[in-house]
């Protein structure tokens, strides 16, 4: 890429969002004249060689993306676009890309060797941006999380051997399963988040990504636990799992630990390091859910609200709710009816 091309790319909304790191930014080729739409799209991805699959594919190219970048180089992108061919392995390819196909397909090739065809059923795939891969996407929508390679190396102990072949497909379990859900939620809710909330969501995504990468490495090494140094990722994954499953009244710390791939004792230590407990996080998640349900479903009996928030006993729910909000569930509901 020439210096002038780089300067032009820096003026685009995605580049501005990355520098500012303030909130999610939506970008569309519709903002450009039809003849310039593909060049505009290509300029948004300066670390990848991008072209269209068909000869006339640049005419009135259609592409939309939602973007959020942090000052330390992590980038979230949710994009949908016409068919493209992308080539990795440039000198600027010092990044890892976690990719989740949500529609269409993307064929990943190394030379003439097809390594993977990613579809919505494939789950998360990690690609080493420094290796010479080509992807051919058709009718493609994808959620991507790009991480600086040096940060990833530091996070998992300077050992990226799990990516020696250039890519790894993550089993949809443990941390990878939670990360998938979190990325999908970011794609759906990103535009509604303010800057502070966007930063929190992005930090959780990055922490879980490092945890998922570590689990993949440990699985290859025959290990089962995540090292202590990945406590931030474990906390983020545990919180995510709790918020997704807090309506289950049988949810326990042991079940949460199994889901994210660590021992119950280590899970306790991870939260104790921040002077909070797993039980407190679970209780707060249930009562926040209850508060929302009481308002959203104004005619739902309180005992049903209790059941949908993980409380098998309505009396226990009422006591917990009063301790949390300073009023009974019915009083809380009446407050918002005024």
Crossing angle of helices 174-189 and 231-245, in 10° steps, is 70
- Give, as one character, the DSSP assignment of residue 91: T
Distance of CA 207 to the CA centre of its chain: 10
For residue 55, with 0-12 CB atoms within 10 Å meaning exposed, 13-18 middle and 19 or more buried, which class applies?
exposed
The predicted structure's pLDDT at residue 63: 94
The residue ranges of the chain whose pLDDT is under 50 are 1-21, 222-229
CB-CB contact of 7 with 47 (8 Å): no
Distance of CA 51 to the CA centre of its chain: 26
Cβ count within 10 A of residue 205: 23
Q: What is the pLDDT of residues 135-160, one digit of tens each?
A: 999 989 999 999 998 888 887 766 77
70: helix, coil or strand?
coil
The predicted structure's pLDDT at residue 221: 55
**Span between the terminal Cα atoms of the chain, in Å:** 61
- Count of alpha carbons within 13 angstroms of residue 120, beta-carbon side: 7
The predicted structure's pLDDT at residue 219: 67
Q: Which of 127, 42, 129 has the alpha carbon at shortest distance from 93?
A: 129
Its pTM stands at: 0.68
The predicted structure's pLDDT at residue 299: 87
For the chain, how many residues are written? 338
- 98/143 Cα distance (integer angstroms): 8
What is the sign, positive or negative, of the torsion defined by CA atoms of 126, 131, 135, 141?
A: positive
The predicted structure's pLDDT at residue 84: 94
- 212/204 Cα distance (integer angstroms): 12
Map out the domains of the chain with their CATH numbers: 3-170 (2.60.120.10)
Largest CA distance in the chain: 69
């Amino acid at each position: 890429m020439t210096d002038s091309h780089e300067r032009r790319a820096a003026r685009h909304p995605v580049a501005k969002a990355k520098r500012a790191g303030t909130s999610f930014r939506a970008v569309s080729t519709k903002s450009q004249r039809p003849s310039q739409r593909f060049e505009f799209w290509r300029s948004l991805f300066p670390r990848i060689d991008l072209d269209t699959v068909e000869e006339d594919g640049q005419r009135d190219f259609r592409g939309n993306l939602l973007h959020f970048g942090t000052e330390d180089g992590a980038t979230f992108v949710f994009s949908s676009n016409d068919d493209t061919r992308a080539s990795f392995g440039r000198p600027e390819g010092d990044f890892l890309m976690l990719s989740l196909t949500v529609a269409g397909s993307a064929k990943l090739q190394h030379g003439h060797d097809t390594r993977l065809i990613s579809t919505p059923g494939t789950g998360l795939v990690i690609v080493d941006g420094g290796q010479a891969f080509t992807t051919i996407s058709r009718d493609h929508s994808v959620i991507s999380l790009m991480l600086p390679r040096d940060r990833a190396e530091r996070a998992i102990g300077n050992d990226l051997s799990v990516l020696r072949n250039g890519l790894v497909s993550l089993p949809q379990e443990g941390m990878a399963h939670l990360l998938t859900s979190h990325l999908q939620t970011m794609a759906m809710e990103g535009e509604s988040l303010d800057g502070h909330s966007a930063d929190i969501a992005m930090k959780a995504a990055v922490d879980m990504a490092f945890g998922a990468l570590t689990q993949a490495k440990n699985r290859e090494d025959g290990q089962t636990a995540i090292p202590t140094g990945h406590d931030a990722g474990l906390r983020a994954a545990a919180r995510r799992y709790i918020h997704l499953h807090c309506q289950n009244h049988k949810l326990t710390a042991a079940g949460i630990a199994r889901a994210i791939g660590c021992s119950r004792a280590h899970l306790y230590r991870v939260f104790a390091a921040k002077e909070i407990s797993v039980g407190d996080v679970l209780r707060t998640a249930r009562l926040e859910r209850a508060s929302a349900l009481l308002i959203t479903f104004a005619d739902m009996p309180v005992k049903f609200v209790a059941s949908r928030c993980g409380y098998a006993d309505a009396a226990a729910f009422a006591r917990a709710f009063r301790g949390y909000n300073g009023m009974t569930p019915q009083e809380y509901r009446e407050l918002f009816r005024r």
